Structure 1
Amino acid sequence: MFNFEDYTVTKAKRVNQALEEAVPLQYALKIHEAMRYSLLEGGKYVRSIVCIACCELVGGEEALAMPIACTVEMIHTASLIHDDLPCMDNDDLRRGKPTNHILFGEGIAVLAGGGLLCLAFEHVVSKTVSFSSERVVRAIAELSSVVAGWVKRVGGRADDGSLELGETGGGSDEDVERVRIYARRIGLLFQVVDDIVDVTMSSEVLGKTAGKDLVSYMATDPKLMGVNNAKKFAGELVAQAIEELTCFDAAKAAPLYRLAKFIANRDN
């Protein structure tokens, strides 16, 4: 029987180790210290685990997906560092710890986020060596769309779905499209649930400032449709995501099935 907790804990440890190696303490020391502070430990690595699970779904191995999984985590962390800045969301708590700029200062935080973003693309190009050049280019195109979505989010809100995808390990175009749709559904699901817990949980539970979206007058789903309708919408997104997995081997799809349920039921 598939053990979801063991699977995610094991994958998260391996992702963390790979990130440790990818971002060592080196010159410029303070910037790399800030990069590692936000990147390592404390995160759930959900996006990275989804990348690995998608690769395994179509017959690939964890090692093939790890460079892209790390790259996705770098891009995501860069977005969090910059989102928390005083000129953006102006938050001082992330994952239960002081945000990057609170600990290192605004200047270092800006450089740390930018450094992670640059390193992300260097990493995927230099470490993804087992795929054809055509597949690597497709992966870079997917990742570039993530960054484009991040830029759009500066002025409002972007669909985070592509952030979950990366590039799969040998799947057909049809396989890739099904995984892409699944990823978009759970990406939107993640945001909807994030908005729900923002207004229903305390800062202690969340590990970040509760109610921040409403205070900032952001167009969160609970504000637009109410908490109950937002929860109903989340349930619909779970069903739509899982529907995309029905054509795959059930055992290989189990991690992605459970991940959708995990995202829907999280409280932080």
Structure 2
Amino acid sequence: MLKKRIIPSLLLKDGRMVKGKNFDNFRDVGNPITAAKVYNAQKVDELIFLDICPSAESREKVYDVIKEVATECFMPLTVGGGIKNCDDIKAFLDIGADKVSINSSAIRYPSLIRQASETFGDQCVVVSIDYKKNIEGKLEVFIDSGKTPTGISPFEHILNCISLGAGEILLTNIDNEGTMQGYDIEFIKYVSENTNIPIIASGGAGTLEHFYNILKETNASAVSAGSIFHFTDQSPIKARFYLSNSGINIRV
């Protein structure tokens, strides 16, 4: 059985690390390169970098961050934000990223998923899906950093992405994101039991018990988290030992 993973998620804005709540009210939480070095010293399983305000200017700053992190750190790196074509993907892979995260473009240009998986291998292709309840109380995919409704159910979108060659799915419940009140266990459980690719649960971690609950009660392959590592004294090392001592199959 594959070991479960803990993946810190670093949100980038203008080259700085930020964190918000429900994809809003972002505040500066530090230098991403410094944070990456700390996580590297703690031997985290992976790191995810997501540019939340992609533009030509911010892309250059993200390149600078990834180049330095890839040179000095030795964990797999996933990078996303504003990826629209295979040239964007190649640019990130060429400077040290191991995987790319495709979000809005998976809705707007779904053929990119197939093109990317055929060109670079499906192990490089993570589709990031942000969702929340709409005014009718049904789960719906939102794009453009949670601003634009799509009218598409997340599970329908997941199945389509898998059929196109996605290698991994990163699922973020916008309603839970940044609240530190726990993951969306119900939906993650359903998805992870009805698909056959790795599912990364994101949005809501605030205690080590939240990691345990999502990994114990679902078939998620990994948990991604930000606030718990930014705003509490918990760390990936503490999380790994806690989970291992609680019977979760995780690297210590």
Do they fold alike, i.e. is TM over 0.5?
no
Higher normalized strand content (fraction of residues): 2
Q: TM-score, normalised by structure 2?
A: 0.32
Q: TM-score, normalised by structure 1?
A: 0.30
Q: Which has the larger radius of gyration?
A: 1
Higher normalized helix content (fraction of residues): 1
Q: Which has the higher contact order (CA 8 A, sep 6+)?
A: 1
